[in-house]
Amino acid sequence: MPAIQLFRQALRDCQVSDEVVAQIMEGYEDVTDNSKKPKKAAFMTQAMQRMDALLDPAVSHAVRDACACSKGGWRLKAVQKVAQEYAGRPLEDRLRALGEVRYMGKPTLNADGDIVGGVGDQGGLQCPCPVFSNSGHQGPVSLTYCYCCAGHFRFHYQIALGVKLATKAVLSSALASEGTEPCRFVYEIVE
- The pLDDT tens digits for 116-148 are 998 887 777 788 888 988 888 888 999 999 999
The C-alpha atoms of residue 119 and residue 121 are separated, in whole angstroms, by: 6
Mean pLDDT, to the nearest integer, of 37-66? Answer: 96
Q: What is the CA radius of gyration of the chain?
A: 17
pTM to 2 decimal places: 0.92
Mean pLDDT, to the nearest integer, of 110-120? Answer: 92
